[in-house]
Structure 1
């Protein structure tokens, strides 16, 4: 196993468990699961007992011994984990991408220590095309997100502004502004906006609308880009996970695709 890339997963919820299960089943050649962390250690150890090769359940602060650490934590713990991983020159795959926007010093730390931050496409689409467009002049990048109201309930922006999404009978615009402000106000909902802004023209120039929409059953994101090289309009409708309606099933699959790309001999896409 010495030639394997070792992977640790910070967070053992819907996404973390799905990724760990795939690694344990040997579905990602060249990569092996080294450790996980979880808020409920006993529950995680119970779930781990069913694996072919159970690994330790450790505090997330101790995961940086692995080559790659996948971050699936509440955003409040992001900075501590990121500093630990990047400070040791390892690779961080963050899902709380919005938590990266106000912390540019983490990019400087990665550069200084030889670490790497790999942002997965996650629940979005077309980041390769956006990145390509951003090599030339870009006039605008806009993201319109529509989610079932229950998937937005409890977001800080809604609470702070006394915005209710209960008993809606028609779509309601609950936020319009920059990707930076949207990531701050909806930390569990629109990490896609942060990823889009990093791929394109930055969080202060990327426009975001968020709709609580009782007419949709899937988390829907539409990206529009006006650039010298191309005009892009892309829509994705993600099926929410049963465990967490704020998260789409495709997010875990995106992490698996990111890991496969790291270890594989063929890399497709920008």
Structure 2
């Protein structure tokens, strides 16, 4: 079987982790085909320092070089990553899945051309169970997120409301609303809520509370799901990566999803 060619869009904390793991040969059946970065010279210098032989190219070049592109980039360029690959009938693994909510045309594009959008579990847990429950009837889904204030800095919603995270000294509820609203207001923080909504009852019926909590050092998420098949109560505390907005487990989740592509045994839906 020919190896699956992987392209990485973005060379931040997650992109670098993926590049190392794919290039070192520990993911059977995968090869690192291309990388795109906002700073080509910096990306090429890093690849050279790591001893990784991989071309740095434009996003438009991905379809001719790769079978699957992994999006590890700002949500604002998701169209530039997805559209060329999906038009070519290729696959895209999307981490900024909150950006999918206002862009249903990307799903239609994948359907029309035989492409596929893959959303990995990321920093959440229990998506298999929620997906299974959605085959029956889910009555409600509620998520509560607690993050250190520094992990929420720069969110458009907080800027709009004039909320300064440097002044938060006690646990503070900074947002309560739907997953769709949260994805818009916190595009770099709550992709987990978007993934949960896509797995379950949609972004307008999935609700989320976001707390800025100086008493926590991890990104904490709890989920309550009430369905006709089960009642789920799930909780996870993610250790932040070098980027405080992203948990270490996010990159590992992508690696696990990539490993499943060619695995002789696949666990979980």
TM-score by length of 1: 0.97
1:187-224 residue CA offsets vs partner (Å, 9 max, x unmatched): 00000010000000000000011100001000011111
Question: Residues 143-162 of structure 1 correspond to what in structure 2 (within 5 A)?
Answer: 143-162=143-162
1:239 maps to 239
Shift of 1:170: 1.2
Matched, 1:164 2:172: no
1:11 maps to 10
Tell whether the 8 Å contact from 1:7 to 1:31 is kept in structure 2 after alignment: yes
2:46 maps to 47
Shift of 1:51: 4.1
User: Following superposition, which runs of at least 4 residues in structure 1 exceed 2 angstroms of deviation?
Assistant: 50-53
Question: Residues 1-270 of structure 1 correspond to what in structure 2 (within 5 A)?
Answer: 3-65=2-64, 66-242=66-242, 244-270=243-269
Tell whether the 8 Å contact from 2:171 to 2:214 is kept in structure 1 after alignment: yes
The number of residue pairs the alignment matches comes to 268
Tell whether the 8 Å contact from 2:3 to 2:29 is kept in structure 1 after alignment: yes
Tell whether the 8 Å contact from 2:10 to 2:72 is kept in structure 1 after alignment: yes
Gaps of 5+ in 1: none
Q: Secondary structure at the match of 1:236?
A: strand
Q: 2: distance between equivalents of 1:149 and 1:52?
A: 37
Which range moved further: 77-86 or 90-99? 77-86
Tell whether the 8 Å contact from 1:79 to 1:99 is kept in structure 2 after alignment: no
Q: 1: distance between equivalents of 2:166 and 2:49?
A: 39
Q: 2: distance between equivalents of 1:198 and 1:147?
A: 22
Q: Secondary structure at the match of 1:141?
A: strand
**Superposed CA RMSD:** 1.0
Tell whether the 8 Å contact from 2:13 to 2:241 is kept in structure 1 after alignment: yes
Shift of 1:263: 1.3
Q: Secondary structure at the match of 1:89?
A: coil
Q: Secondary structure at the match of 1:70?
A: strand
